[in-house]
Amino acid sequence: MYPSGEVFTVIPLGDIVPYLSTVNAVILGVLIAVLLLPILSRTDIYVEVDHRRPKIKAKIVTPREDRIKAALALTSTLASVGVVTTGDVFNFTLFLSLLGMSNMGLIGTTVGDDFALECAFHYGLMCLIASLPLFGGAALILASTGTLSLHELMKLPRGAGGWTLTYGKALLTAGVLGEAGVGPFYAVKVDSFRRIWGRYAFVIHLTTLLTFSRFMEILSLLP
């Protein structure tokens, strides 16, 4: 029995074997709906009000202007689709790295000032540092159980991995925190919701949140 409910489909793709279960299907639907939102909304009017000296500035954003942001949001969503459907621990970490990278790009480009770029740089440093516990945790899981496939890991008896697996779990948690968990923090820090490209900043929050629900499933799958 899988922790995320009944398994609908299994894609027999070599030894990775992605699968789709009840909770993951709901998450996938939400992700695709959120990706469709900025694509279907055709124009965006951005109004800035300065209270100290009475001034109102309006800017109409055409879809042609935000092609880079749309591409980054698409990459982010596809990476989190990969995170949600994959059946392999190392594949999970790779998709998570792609997610962190595209979210870093979104934070750097949504607002368009120097402070946002500095925040994106710090997020990138965080991603680079977090790749050590991320890949190291996957390597420790491989070393302690001999497999990375979630379908095989589920069949192992409790306590099969010993302290190495516990250590690997801890490292993997730290890696997920550094790679995806700090993303919303930086997105809020540059105040990207209320700024001009706010509809793409929404993607950052959603993808990282849904990644966490998937990570909970992986933690409960491990012996």
Name which of 20 and 101 has its Cβ closer to other proteins: 101
Binding mask 140-179 toward other proteins (x if CB under 8 A, else -) reads: x-xx-xx-x-----------x-------------------
Name which of 25 and 106 has its Cβ closer to other proteins: 106
State the greatest distance between any 2 C-alpha atoms of the chain, in Å, as a whole number.
Answer: 69
Q: How far apart are CA 179 and CA 129, in angstroms?
A: 9
Q: How far apart are CA 174 and CA 172, in angstroms?
A: 5
Contact of 131 with 175, CB cutoff 8 Å: yes
Give residue 49's identity as a one-letter amino acid code.
Answer: V
Contact of 134 with 144, CB cutoff 8 Å: no
Out of 97, 192, 207, 208, the only residue in the binding site for other proteins (CB under 8 A) is 97
Name which of 20 and 119 has its Cβ closer to other proteins: 119
Out of 128, 177, 188, 221, the only residue in the binding site for other proteins (CB under 8 A) is 128
| Burial (0-12, 13-18, 19+ Cβ within 10 Å), 171 | buried
Which parts of this chain interact with other proteins (CB under 8 A)?
A: 90, 94, 97-98, 100-101, 104-105, 108, 114, 117-118, 120-121, 124-125, 127-129, 131-132, 134-136, 138-140, 142-143, 145-146, 148, 160
